[in-house]
Structures are given as C-alpha cells and as structure tokens.
C-alpha cells in the first residue's frame, strides 16, 4: 500500500437535507432506520429497523405531546360545601382569592392566594354619592297600548245587617271594599232625635 494522496477539490454542494415525511404509526409494520412517525400525539424517529411501538429504545422522541393547559376559572362567592381545584378564583369579604392546589380548604387559608382586597383606608374605599345630573330630554312617545278591560261595575250589594256593613258585588264576580255603616247610622240617629 502506498502513501496517502493529496486531498482532492471540494465537490458541488448537495441538496438541502429533509426530515422524512411523518406518518401515523401502524402496529404490526416494520419501520426502517430514520423513518418518522406520530404516535399518541408525539413524534418519533426510528434509530434502527424495528417493529416495536414507541416509546421504546428503538425510537428517539423528536417532539412530545404536552399537557392540556389549565387557566384560572372564576367560581363566584366562596362556599364551604363546594369542591375547588387548582387555579379556581373565588370572592369573599370584598377580596378575590385563587386556589394554590386542588382541595385548598377554608378561604382565606394556606391553600389560597389573595389576589385583590378592598381596603378600609383612603384608597379603594367607596366615594361619596355625587350630585344628581340634569334631567334628560323627554323621550319620544311610545306606541299606544292595547285597550284594557272595562272597569267592573257594581251589580249588587251584600248586606250584613248585624254589623251594618255593605259589600259591593262587582260585574267581574269579585267583591269590592266593605263599607262600614254603623257610625253613619248612629250619627243619623243622634241628629234626628
């Protein structure tokens, strides 16, 4: 064997490399080194020829499925009987609190973080009621309403001769307010005797 020869000139630049097309993983199929699949929301590349399902040492993870995000959930006024979870927001005694964990316990307490609190001092206290503003312009007249029922008429009288009470019986079947007549008859009796 002879001596190593001189380094030759650089060849032309090749085409840009590409990641193989991603396919959905299919069980009972052989995948070849370098093939890329998606399985249960994550992307995997075969490190050698394999028939194993990812995750497995024959695969390397390229991108993994994340957890579903959670965000604050307004839950209204705190109630002892309610079950609260991490990031639930409640109000109590003029303040707002956010749960630090699932089942945070009594509010306020170790399981809650105060977000906002009304102060009793100068800042944040309700201000004095302002003076009423000027009366606005009169609005347009609305459409005429439907004609109502006719007022009931007195069709008879129910008399209680013992108590000196007369009760009007109305045309709609109801009874009107009773008329107490005893004092009127007593006055008449005094004036005429």
Q: What is the pLDDT at residue 92?
A: 93
CB 182 within 8 A of CB 188: no
Q: What is the pLDDT at residue 124?
A: 58
User: Token match 């007549």: residue?
Assistant: 181
Residues 6+ apart with CB under 8 A from 101: 86, 111
Q: For each of the chain's 193 residues, which pLDDT tens digit applies? A: 899 999 999 999 988 888 788 999 999 899 999 999 999 999 999 999 999 999 999 999 999 988 777 789 999 999 999 999 999 999 998 899 999 999 999 999 999 999 998 776 555 566 788 899 999 999 999 999 998 888 899 999 999 999 999 999 999 999 999 999 999 989 999 998 8
- Terminal Cα distance for the chain, rounded: 163
pTM over 0.85: no
Domain ranges across the chain: 22-63, 73-117, 154-192
Q: What is the pLDDT at residue 80?
A: 92
Q: Assign domain 22-63 one CATH number from 3.30.70.20, 2.10.10.20, 3.90.550.10, 3.30.470.10.
A: 2.10.10.20
* CATH 1.10.287 applies to domain 73-117: no
């Amino acid at each position: 064997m002879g001596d190593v020869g001189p380094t030759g000139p650089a060849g032309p630049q090749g085409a840009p490399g590409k990641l193989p097309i991603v396919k959905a993983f299919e069980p009972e199929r052989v995948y070849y080194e370098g093939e890329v699949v998606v399985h249960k929301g994550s992307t995997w590349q075969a490190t050698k020829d394999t028939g194993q399902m990812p995750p497995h040492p024959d695969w390397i993870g390229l991108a993994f499925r994340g957890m579903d995000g959670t965000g604050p959930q307004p839950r209204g006024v705190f109630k002892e009987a309610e079950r609260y979870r991490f990031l639930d927001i409640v109000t109590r005694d003029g303040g707002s609190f956010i749960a630090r964990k699932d089942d945070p316990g009594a509010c306020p307490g170790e399981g809650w973080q105060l977000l906002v609190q009304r102060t009793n001092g100068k800042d944040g206290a309700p201000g004095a009621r302002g003076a009423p503003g000027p009366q606005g312009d009169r609005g347009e007249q609305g459409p005429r309403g439907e004609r109502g029922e006719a007022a009931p008429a007195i069709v008879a009288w129910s008399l209680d001769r013992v108590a000196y009470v007369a009760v009007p019986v109305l045309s709609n079947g109801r009874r009107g307010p009773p008329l107490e007549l005893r004092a009127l008859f007593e006055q008449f009796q005094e004036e005429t005797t």
